[in-house]
Amino acid sequence: MKLAIIGPAFFGYLEELADSFTRSGINAAFYDERPSNSVSSKVVFRLASQSMKARIAKQHLENLCEQVIRAGSTHVLLVSVEIVDSIAVQRFREANLKVSRYGWDSVRNKPLMHSLDPLMDHIASFDGQDCETYGYSYIPLYSSLTADPTFEQVKETDFFYCTTLHSNRPLWVTRFLEVINAKGWQANFLLFYHNRLLWWVQYIKTPSVWGLLKSISTISFSRDEIALATQAAKVVLDIHHGAQTGLTMRTYEALSLGVVLLTTNKAAFQYLPEDLHDRLVFLDAENLTKSMQTALERTPAPLTPAQSHSLSRDRFIAQLTALINGDPVPSAHQ
């Protein structure tokens, strides 16, 4: 098998996924479906006419398909694609490539993915509700973080939150900070947005969040930085996207490092096994202080080897491999 992984580049996850497949014995390469990921090109593309966007995307997809086929790929895995269309998929199928799809987002957020379903050999998603609705295989995400064995288990902070500061998250952050400051708790927030000016323009009508501007980083945080900050905290905060139920990377990263997760996603209690529920607390917006206090009082036991595996990238790769091969996808929590 020679696998081509195609999707948008985000935080290096898909490049790492290709490397993980290669280490597992499957020759894999990542192909970015976007013509460019620079901030300037995104701005230009956003302002361009629909006809110009279509021409740029068409030319890029033609070149991408040629690269994938010329490389001798036998299988294609589309991951939350935004640009790849039915014409590109048909070209892969005409070249006798097997094409599967993995939803690292919900159908509601990326309806283009769903439109490609009739052309797919196999489909899986991280969104449990999508799997139940459309009959996809359920493959939850995983932890990309590794614990530092030299780290002294002294919890320096009460709450840790790492997020891309979009949608309603700035409002959540301001609420968190109000409670944290009032209670005298310690917190570490890593806030990312690709451009401060664009962020300010987006929230210009919400002056209550303007104070966050100086705390925004335009450089992505490293995995080591996030791992150390997670290990140093008692509780990790998680605000899920309202249009999806899939459990985020932050869910698995927090749990894999033995930290309590305070989450707005009720699906965590549905899709994670009961033996992990002692380290989950639902973040009730109406009782924010009480939720945060409850999370601080949790002291979960160390993870068992089976629990650690269920949260790992190795489990994720094994499930995706079964999907691509057309084999039954094993449970994440066997």
Q: Which CATH class is domain 2-141+312-325?
A: alpha beta
- Please name every residue paired with 161 in a beta bridge, in sequence order, or none if there are none: 189
According to the model, what pLDDT value does residue 204 have? 95
Question: Which residues lie closer than 8 Å to 227 by C-beta, 6 or more apart?
Answer: 145, 146, 147, 148, 253, 257
In the chain, list all ranges with CATH 3.40.50.2000: 2-141+312-325, 157-310
Cβ–Cβ under 8 Å, residues 223 and 148: no
According to the model, what pLDDT value does residue 44 have? 47
Phi, psi of 132 (to 5 degrees): -70, -35
User: How far does the chain reach from its first CA to its final CA, in angstroms?
Assistant: 26
- Here the tokens at position 81 are 């694609």
Cβ–Cβ under 8 Å, residues 80 and 104: yes
Q: Catalogue the E-assigned strands of the chain.
A: 2-7, 27-32, 75-79, 98-103, 122-125, 137-138, 157-164, 187-192, 216-217, 233-238, 260-263, 280-282
According to the model, what pLDDT value does residue 116 have? 94
In tens digits, the chain (334 residues) has pLDDT values of 999 999 998 778 899 999 999 999 999 999 998 876 555 445 444 545 566 556 767 888 999 999 999 999 999 999 999 889 999 999 999 999 999 999 998 998 888 889 999 999 999 999 999 999 999 999 999 998 887 776 666 788 999 999 999 989 999 999 999 999 999 999 999 999 989 999 999 999 999 999 999 999 999 898 889 999 999 999 999 998 776 788 988 899 999 998 999 999 999 999 999 999 999 999 999 999 999 999 999 988 889 999 999 999 999 999 999 999 999 999 887 6
From residue 74, how far is each of 39, 119, 201, 316 by CA, in Å? Answer: 33, 16, 45, 21
Angle, CA 297 vertex, CA 295 and CA 300 arms, to 5° = 85
Torsion on CA atoms 196, 197, 198, 204, rounded to nearest 10: 110
Return the CATH fold of 157-310.
Rossmann fold (3.40.50)
From residue 311, how far is each of 42, 250, 316 by CA, in Å? Answer: 34, 11, 8
d(CA 309, CA 333): 8
